[in-house]
Amino acid sequence: MKKVGLYFGTFNPIHIGHLVIANHMVEFSDLDEVWFVVTPQSPFKTKKALLDNHHRYEMVYEATKEYPKLRPCKIEFDLPQPNYTVNTLVHLDEKYPSGYSFSLIMGEDNLKSLHKWKNYETILENYNIYVYPRISEGAVESQFTQHRSIHHVNAPIMEISSTFIRKEHKKGKNIKPMLPPEVWTYMDEMNFYR
Ligand SMILES: Nc1ncnc2c1ncn2[C@@H]1O[C@H](COP(=O)(O)OP(=O)(O)OP(=O)(O)O)[C@@H](O)[C@H]1O
Ligand SMILES: O=C(O)c1ccc[n+]([C@@H]2O[C@H](COP(=O)([O-])O)[C@@H](O)[C@H]2O)c1
């Protein structure tokens, strides 16, 4: 049975914060692989400045191609939008009926809003969630603090965001060290976020 951690995000673009977390999860938890699930439309986000799905996927592909345990995943491209994670999980279980066991990966910031996710109780009943630390406001709801499906992994804190990268790149600042080199090259050649 292959244990797969699903790391959902818009990845607009993927940056080294994402990559460090995913690699840490795969090296220091019982997960065998991490799949970056590129989300066309996150339920809590607007589509502003959102690159086409295929470009975001391509950047995830470029960022992960030298890491055999990290993989890009486009399963949500053909699912209804906005993309509710619970629907995607059902779809993945149908597509991979045996040999795979899926879990979620999320930052502590997302755990703080998990009670607003569609059918979050169903998610917790059926899937484990691996949580990494993240600096953020607010508190984790008490229902989640001792939950049997929630596992904390002490990954490094990397406070980089795609929003910052897009904004500062547009202003002409050098944001190259925050991106995997292949992503920087692709983004630069394609003139993204200018
Ligand atoms: N530096 C980081 N360290 C750890 N987790 C992160 C980091 N940046 C984003 N994440 C988390 O990774 C997941 C995927 O990231 P996503 O691309 O959706 O967000 P983002 O990088 O914050 O983008 P944006 O700034 O465009 O909102 C989200 O759950 C997000 O909270
Ligand atoms: O299913 C939901 O209700 C739901 C609500 C908010 C976010 N999500 C998922 O969590 C991912 C990260 O969310 P965000 O807003 O931090 O980018 C996003 O890409 C979605 O796949 C899912």
pLDDT digits (tens, 9 = 90+) for 112-136: 999 999 999 999 999 999 999 999 9
Residue 162 CB–ligand 2 contact under 6 Å: no
Average pLDDT rounded to a whole number, residues 23-40: 98
Residue type, 194: R
Burial class (CB in 10 A: 0-12, 13-18, 19+), 48: exposed
Domain ranges of the chain: 2-159
Rounded to the nearest angstrom, the distance between the alpha carbon of 160 and the centre of ligand 1 is: 8
Query: Average pLDDT of the chain?
Result: 97
Rounded to the nearest angstrom, the distance between the alpha carbon of 98 and the centre of ligand 2 is: 26
Q: State the Cα–Cα distance between residues 67 and 109, nearest whole angstrom.
A: 26
Strands (E), the chain: 2-9, 33-38, 70-73, 100-107, 129-132, 150-152
**Structural domain 2-159, CATH architecture:** 3-Layer(aba) Sandwich (3.40)
Q: State the Cα–Cα distance between residues 107 and 110, nearest whole angstrom.
A: 5
Tens of pLDDT along 144-174? 999 999 999 999 999 999 999 999 999 999 9
Q: What pLDDT does residue 36 have?
A: 99
Percent of the chain at pLDDT above 70? 100
Work out which ligand 2 atom sits closest to the CA atom of 117.
3
Return all residues near 160 (Cβ < 8 A) that are at least 6 apart.
Answer: 15, 16, 17, 178
The answer to whether residue 33 scores a pLDDT higher than 90 is yes
Helix and strand numbers (H, E) in the chain are 8, 6
Tens of pLDDT along 94-117? 999 999 999 999 999 999 999 999
Q: State the Cα–Cα distance between residues 103 and 114, nearest whole angstrom.
A: 15
Q: Is 172 left (phi over 0), alpha (psi -120 to 50) or beta?
A: left
Q: What pLDDT does residue 49 have?
A: 82
Tens of pLDDT along 38-86? 999 999 888 778 999 999 999 999 999 999 999 999 999 999 999 999 9
Work out which ligand 1 atom sits closest to the CA atom of 14.
17
Work out which ligand 1 atom sits closest to the CA atom of 39.
18
Residue type, 31: L
ipTM: 0.96
Residue 134 CB–ligand 1 contact under 6 Å: yes
